[in-house]
Amino acid sequence: MNLFNLEAKRHTSRVLAEYAQSRPGSAQRMGNMGGIQNSGNGVKYAVSSDIDAMKELFAPISAASGFTVTDRTAMAVSAVYACLTKLAGAVLQLPVNHYRYDKAGDRKPVLDSSLWWALNEQPHPRWTSASWKEWIVRCVALRGDQFTRILRGGNNQGGPITGLQPLHPDAVVVRRYIDATQDVLVYDVMDFMSGEYLTVHQDDMLHFAGFGFDGIRSLSAIQYAAKQAIGNSLAAAEFTGRTIGEGAMPQIALEFANKMNPEQIKQLRNSFVATYTGVGSRKLPLVLTEGGKVSQLSISPVDLQLIELRGFEKKDICQALGVPPVLIGDNDKTSSWGTGIEQITLGFVKFTIKPMLCRWEEELNRKLFRNAGQFVEFDLDGLLAGDSAAQSEVFKGALGGPGAGNGYMTVNEIRRIKNLPRVDGGDELFKAQSGTTTPPPAGAPA
């Protein structure tokens, strides 16, 4: 086993320090976390063995607002956090069922499936299934891809599946491997605790890809679709907080007709800052003598239309992540919480959740089974169910009966959906008697 432990010794690099100086803000942020050190002769060195400092050094270039957009900074934006919780919350509540086709081509549930526990309760001793699904949503949205290693018994080469190990995107490097017999992906996985790494074949790695998968990696929504919106939101939040912290005092200039020496200017500035800035500092009126005047230099939040800007950025982030704004509390233009919100939710499931789960199911089925005949599927009934009255009408039509025609579900199938015990005689489908007709709908022509 190869070892690669950067933390065993403190490594520094002058070249990386010079590179940090060329990237806007990188040297300052690295210095704040101890990633830049000064030598005795004034030469600066970057601590290349500091993982956090290296992440900062090679982080994406800042948005136009000047703020770097990463998965960590994006989570500080309430709209991003809310969208991800709604996406993850919709997925984690869905059971994953295991089926196989019988000889007649009908799908039958696999009741004794060894995979059920991993997919619905505990994929790994450190993870619950709900947390794992949340992690997949977060990684795919923020980084483009999520990797989960398939743990197998024996020598881990085609053996029985014993668990699923979620991995951090920073711990995985994807590369293409080609030889005379195969063109596949392999994954170099590092253990941050031990410094050890191993190479995993694609058959033993669940690679949950997002939109724009190019055969190796997918696109990150926050880096391509929502980068500027998130950067603007970070800048607006920082500006608002700084303004409040300064007592909402705008930037001003104090003008005096008479000339002042540097010491007098310094004393005046310090006195003004001590008296009139900070929360709760506006206790005394401003008094200017000797013909002094005040001129405002900064633009007020109202003139900046800061509130309108933040609302626009929220909608932009929702659009990038595929979440209707009303689901994260933005109901400024929503007038109905009845049929309207139900239709919005159905659209969310149809155009955001189902395509995402389709990619997940294809990856699970081709890696867990490797051939046709067995498959897993997310049960969407919980998300698609309406209120009690609407669900009752659906079940009545499913059971069939006078005026409804033949049934397509049995009583016990519906009772299983409602988590109720089976009843005797509940496995028969209703069939209309021969010679009877179903009454036409009201208002239909005779």
Task: Look at 89-98, 139-148, 420-429, 436-445 and tell me which has the smallest mean pLDDT.
Answer: 436-445
Which residues share a beta bridge with 294? 254
Q: Tell me the residue length of the chain.
A: 446
Task: Look at 93-97, 323-327, 427-431, 434-438 and tell me which has the smallest mean pLDDT.
Answer: 434-438
Give 320-364 as a DSSP string.
HHT--GGGGT--TT---SSHHHHHHHHHHIIIIIHHHHHHHHHHH
42, two tokens: 């004034």
Does position 424 have pLDDT exceeding 70, yes or no? yes
Q: First-to-last CA distance in the chain?
A: 81
CA nearest 208: which of 138, 158, 159, 160?
Answer: 138
Q: How many CA atoms lie within 13 A of 213 on its CB side?
A: 14
What is the percent of the chain where pLDDT is above 70? 72
Residues 201-246: pLDDT tens digits? 999 999 999 999 999 999 999 888 888 888 888 887 776 766 666 5
The secondary element (H helix, E strand) that includes residue 100 is: strand 96-101
Determine if residue 282 is left, alpha or beta; phi over 0 gives left, psi from -120 to 50 gives alpha, anything else beta: beta
Helix (H, G, I), strand (E, B) or coil at 160: coil
Which residue's structure tokens are 């947390």? 131
Q: How far is CA 274 from CA 290, 312, 393, in A?
A: 21, 37, 70
Task: Look at 23-32, 150-159, 342-351 and tell me which has the smallest mean pLDDT.
Answer: 23-32
Q: How far is CA 7 from CA 26, 52, 195, in A?
A: 22, 12, 9
User: Are 33 and 52 spatial neighbours (Cβ–Cβ below 8 Å)?
Assistant: yes
pLDDT of residue 299: 53
Cα 94 to Cα 416: distance, rounded to the nearest angstrom: 15
